[in-house]
């Protein structure tokens, strides 16, 4: 016989009055009786969370309707098969822990709903004992915390961004101060060549801080894309023009090869521009960091990918990446450039490409170079 439900029921039936007088019937007759009428089953069904009861073999004995709605029918099936769609038991499963130590437990689990979606749950488990104190079953109650986790991630991201970006801005300020000093010295000595040199330092740092600011805005704001039909060639020429001087300074040959047969495409031009900016900058910096090749080249290419997709490729013969680096580069704030990078660039690339319903392919080999391929639907 299961005791918990009965005891719970008992506590609700009567309670001593505060003046110590005779027990009176709980005011439930007026306020709470409809609950009794409703029955516990209905109350459990009303809960906006998942409730299930499992036996020692982890077979589900009971589920509420919220559970059935999101996971499908579960009674009679093994819990991890239903919650996680896996044949393996969950490590550190709270239900098994409640079976072994007869105590309630809490854990966070990632589950798969019958819609195929992944969800994060906060799972509470509590033992259900018989009158001899033996655990006969465990009740599991889980709340969906997916949204909460997402907010948490965004907050962590923002926190990190403040730290990384302040460091970066400090570097840029230093550049600006240094540049201003050189300009001053040039003016003082009437040496316009020196002043011009200083002014270039100032301008370079202004460009850097502009890029960082735009990336932060892109990374942290929910912005609405404005799609419009454009010819890719024009946009690419615009962006590449911005980098020509930089490429020349770095002695990198910058080349554009567009397929003239490519029709107009529907994209969010500021997004694609931002994305291409970041990918191009990475390619140039991969060349700068590479000390092995003498001749460095970056090629920007556009072409059909298949019937319904087009691609923008940026190929460099710079340092290339090993597998471990390739895995990590899309994480916000991962940078291979030490002081010189925030790691925000590719995070923004990812965001723009996802927003367009596209994907990224990276072909890379250490000391050979990298081809960064962005594949987008024609729409």
Partner 1 sequence: MAKRVLVVDDEMDMRIFISTLLETNGYKALTAKDGEEGLVIACSEKPSLIILDVMMPKESGINLYRELRKHPKLQGVPVIMLSALSKKTFFYSQKMLDKYKEEEIPEPEVYIEKPAEPEELLDAINTCLEP
Residue 77 C-beta: closest distance to partner 1, Å: 56
Residues 92-131 vs partner 1: string with x where CB under 8 A?
----------------------------------------
Q: Are strands 118-129 and 135-144 parallel, antiparallel or unpaired?
A: antiparallel
Instruction: Please calculate the CA angle 108-111-116 and round it to the nearest 5 degrees.
Output: 155
From the CB of 293, what's the least distance to partner 1, in Å?
Answer: 15
Confirm or reject binding of residue 40 to partner 1 (CB under 8 A): no
Interface with partner 1 includes 175 (CB under 8 A)? yes
Q: Return the number of the residue (35 or 207) whose C-beta is nearest partner 1.
A: 207
Residue of the chain from 16, 41, 147, 170 that contacts partner 1 (CB under 8 A): 170
Q: Per CB under 8 A, does 173 bind partner 1?
A: yes
CB closer to partner 1, 155 vs 173: 173
* Distance of alpha carbon 150 from alpha carbon 284, whole angstroms: 34
Site mask for partner 1 (CB under 8 A), range 272-301, x = bound: -----------------x-x----------
Q: What whole-number distance in Å separates Cα of residue 352 and Cα of residue 354?
A: 6
Establish if 163 lies at the interface with partner 1 (CB under 8 A): no
Between residues 127 and 198, which has the closer beta carbon with respect to partner 1?
198
State in angstroms the smallest separation of the CB of 347 from partner 1: 22
- Minimum CB distance to partner 1 smaller for 306 or for 339: 339
Task: Measure the CA–CA gap between 136 and 352, rounded to whole angstroms.
Answer: 53
Binds partner 1 by CB under 8 A, chosen from 47, 165, 194, 375? 194
Among 93, 111, 164, 201, binds partner 1 (CB under 8 A): 201
Using the rule CB under 8 A, is 139 a contact of partner 1? no
Told to check if 339 binds partner 1 by CB under 8 A, we report yes
Applying CB under 8 A, the site for partner 1 has a residue count of 23
Per-residue CA distances from 306 to 37, 310, 342 (Å): 63, 7, 34
- The smaller minimum CB distance to partner 1, of residues 178 and 269, is found at 178
Q: How far is the CB of 175 from partner 1 (least distance, A)?
A: 4
Residue among 197 and 359 whose Cβ is closer to partner 1: 197
Query: By C-beta, is 370 or 371 nearer to partner 1?
Result: 370
Task: By CB under 8 A, name the binding residues for partner 1.
Answer: 170-171, 173-175, 177-179, 181-182, 185, 188-189, 194, 197-198, 201, 204-205, 289, 291, 338-339
């Amino acid at each position: 016989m299961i005791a918990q439900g009965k005891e719970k029921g008992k506590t609700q039936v009567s309670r001593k009055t505060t003046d110590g007088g005779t027990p009176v019937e709980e005011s439930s007759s007026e306020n709470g009786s409809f609950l009794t009428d409703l029955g516990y089953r209905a109350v459990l069904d009303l809960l906006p969370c998942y409730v299930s009861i499992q036996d020692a073999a982890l077979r589900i004995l009971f589920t509420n309707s919220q559970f059935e709605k999101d996971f499908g029918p579960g009674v009679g099936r093994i819990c991890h098969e239903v919650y996680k769609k896996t044949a393996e038991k969950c490590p550190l499963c709270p239900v098994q822990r409640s079976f072994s130590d007869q105590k309630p437990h809490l854990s966070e689990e990632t589950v798969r709903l019958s819609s195929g979606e992944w969800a994060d749950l906060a799972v509470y488990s509590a033992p259900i004992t018989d009158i001899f104190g033996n655990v006969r079953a465990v009740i599991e109650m889980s709340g969906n915390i997916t949204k909460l986790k997402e907010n948490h991630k965004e907050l962590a991201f923002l926190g990190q961004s403040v730290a990384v970006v302040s460091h970066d801005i400090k570097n840029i300020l230093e550049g600006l101060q240094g540049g201003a000093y050189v300009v001053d010295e040039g003016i003082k000595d009437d040496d316009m060549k020196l002043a011009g040199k200083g002014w270039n330092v100032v301008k370079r740092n202004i460009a850097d801080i502009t890029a960082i600011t735009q990336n932060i805005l892109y990374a942290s704001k929910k912005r609405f894309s404005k799609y419009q039909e454009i010819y890719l060639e024009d946009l690419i020429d615009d962006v590449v023009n911005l980098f020509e001087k930089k490429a020349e300074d770095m002695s990198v040959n910058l080349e554009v090869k567009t397929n003239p047969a490519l029709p107009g495409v529907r994209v969010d031009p500021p997004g694609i521009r931002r994305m291409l900016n970041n990918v191009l900058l990475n390619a140039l910096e991969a060349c700068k960091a590479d000390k092995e090749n003498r001749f460095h080249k970056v090629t920007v290419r556009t072409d059909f990918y298949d019937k319904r997709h087009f691609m923008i490729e940026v190929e460099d013969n710079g340092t290339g990446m090993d597998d471990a680096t390739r895995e990590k580069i899309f994480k916000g704030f991962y940078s291979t450039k030490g002081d010189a990078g925030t790691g925000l660039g590719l995070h923004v690339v990812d965001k723009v490409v996802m927003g367009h319903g596209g994907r990224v392919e990276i072909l890379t080999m250490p000391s050979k170079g990298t081809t960064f391929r962005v594949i987008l639907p024609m729409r």
